[in-house]
Amino acid sequence: MRVTPDVTVRNRRHPGGVRFVIPSLTATAVVAGVLVAAPAQAHDSEAADPSEGSVSLQDPKLSWQGEHYAVGSTAIAGLPCDAPENTTCDHFDLHVDVDPAHWESHQGGVEVVISWPDPEDDFDLRVYDDQGVLLGSSTSADSNLERVSVPNAAGTYEVVVNPWQVTDSDYTGQVALASSKKKGKQPSAGGEVPDEPLFDAPCSEGLAGPFPCENVDLAAYLPLSEIGATDIDLVFPNQGNDIWGWTDPQTGREYALMGTTSGTAFIDVTEPTEPVFLGQLPSAQPVRTIFRQWSDVKVHENHAYMVSEEPLHGMQVFDLTRLRDVSEPQTWDANAHYTGFNSAHNIAIDTDSGYAYAIGTDTCDGGPHIVDISEPASPAAAGCVDEDGYTHDTQAVTYDGPDTRYTGHEILFNSNEDTVTIVDVTDKENPVQLSRFGYEGAQYTHQGWLTPDSRFFLFNDELDEQQNGHNTTTYVLDVTDLENPRLRGTHVHDTEAIDHNLYTKDGKVYEANYRAGLRILSTRPISGGKLREVGYFDVYPADDAAEFNGAWSNYPYFDSGTVVVSGIEQGLFVLKPTGAAG
């Protein structure tokens, strides 16, 4: 019988604002009045190999092979194994070579993971600082891994592994260091929206149900709880993030693929007023961590490619044709898993070339990490784009625009925090930076998209509304000369909201602008550097303030005209633009 120690939970907040939980062991266990201790010996080989290791911002990963145990310790799970004379528990010294001052401007830390082959075995994990203070423990049952996160890690830590209940097994240890710049994006409470699904609510007199609107009907609204994204705890409430779509070329059915902080949800939206949730592909790193778990998904050749900011996530590959003839939700598994990087903020795919670009990874100095996905079951690393440092988002295209010098070349339009940087990646081993465009008032160049004729690149700045105090602003960049882009003008909206992700189609721009929701703009006046709003659907009725809530992204490319929008605190919106917005 396993005795579980009394555990209290203390909430702390590190300077970056990300909350995390540290379990504190507050009691030892007694069976029949006698303190149960671990046996003197339970292993039959050498200790951890190696017995210590280091991670740094330049070398953020390490692994080691743990001891082999013939039998488990049979110790009480709450009994620490840090006594010098202890010979049962395995010890690994972890050195984190990061200046503590780094965490004043960055957020993250290290995550320690142990895993073993058979879930019937049971190892426990504890991490101590250099003063012997327990920072965190993981003692799950019926699992073959444990993990502990240490925020703002710097210095030396002792990793202790207890073979609680083991038969002829060893384990593997891994450490990943994650660091990203603080941008102030701390989600807060959402606006008032229904707790239950809502269907078939036309936009009438400025409202579709409780949602302000113009020229956009609400076909359906599914809260997060209806698409498998239930909260695990109050410290880490589940949230929505990216969204993309897939149309089955065989059946013509349309599917929304929506990222949440627990995985990717699949929803059949062929009948917009009757969406069907088909289940979820859990995150490749399903255990909650201190790290913000925003994810991203794109589609190529009937396969979805998912990445996440979780430190050990990598890239999942899922064959979307498996959704055919499915009518009930189920838990899905990935068809392939690429581990050439750990965390990533985003992914872009050139659907003509068959190359994917993982963005904001722990490789390539944060620049695009190139992956050959021509064989979906066997993604392969193909190169790096690192001349201009960190990229937050990109559009990857096989170019067919007005600058005929680059016709047929593969071009990236990178949003690089303070510039739009255009790179020729035709030669994956030797990318060529064509231009680097900065602009007055730049705060955080976030994301953008080409117009269908490739003459203009429309982009947004995620922090200029907050930092510069102006209304939502969309930048119109003339890219007819890829080596010399010029700002043609800006479109200033009527709202104060922060803009986030935008896409273009058939003379319109579809912008997911956080608290202002979906905004649809006409590009008819674009030659003069202007746009014109023709419709909107506000997913956050409370206000349009410049805060990080509401609409994360949208997908406007279904042939049916359906547009799907993901709400961070809300869920999935299935929308039908009408009139001038249709």
Is residue 291 scored above 80 in pLDDT?
Answer: no
For the residues 442-452, what does the mean pLDDT come to? 97
Q: How far apart are CA 247 and CA 320, in angstroms?
A: 10
pLDDT tens string 465-496: 999 999 999 999 999 999 999 999 999 999 99
Please return the burial class of 271, using the count of CB atoms within 10 Å of its CB with bins 0-12, 13-18 and 19+: middle
Tokens of 232: 């695990």
CA-angle at 41, arms to 35 and 47, nearest 5°: 125
Q: How far apart are CA 129 and CA 28, in angstroms?
A: 21
pLDDT tens string 419-432: 999 999 999 999 99
Cβ proximity of 253 and 271 under 8 Å: no
pLDDT at 85: 45
Q: How far apart are CA 394 and CA 372, in angstroms?
A: 17
Cβ proximity of 96 and 157 under 8 Å: yes
**Residue count (the chain):** 582
Tokens of 208: 């579709």
Q: How far apart are CA 391 and CA 433, in angstroms?
A: 13
Q: Report residue 405: phi and psi, to 5°.
A: -60, -25
pLDDT tens string 166-181: 888 999 999 988 776 6
The 3-state DSSP class for residue 99 equals coil
As beta bridge partners, residue 211 has 208
pLDDT at 136: 86
Higher pLDDT, 70 or 522: 522
CA quadruple 451, 463, 237, 318: dihedral, nearest 10: 30
Cβ proximity of 509 and 543 under 8 Å: no
Q: Using 50, 70 and 90 to split pLDDT, how confident is the model at 290?
A: low
pLDDT tens string 391-422: 999 999 999 999 999 999 999 999 999 999 99
Residue 465, H or E segment: helix 464-468
As beta bridge partners, residue 434 has none
- The reply to whether the predicted model has a pTM over 0.75 is yes
pLDDT at 4: 27
Neighbours of 449 (CB within 10 A): 21
pLDDT tens string 366-388: 999 999 999 999 999 999 999 99
Give me the domains of the chain, ranges plus CATH numbers.
7-181 (2.60.120.380), 198-581 (2.130.10.10)
Cβ proximity of 307 and 344 under 8 Å: yes
Mean pLDDT, the chain, as a whole number?
Answer: 86
pLDDT at 182: 61
Among 144, 63, 145, 149, smallest CA distance to 112 is for 149
Is residue 201 scored above 90 in pLDDT?
Answer: yes
pLDDT at 149: 84
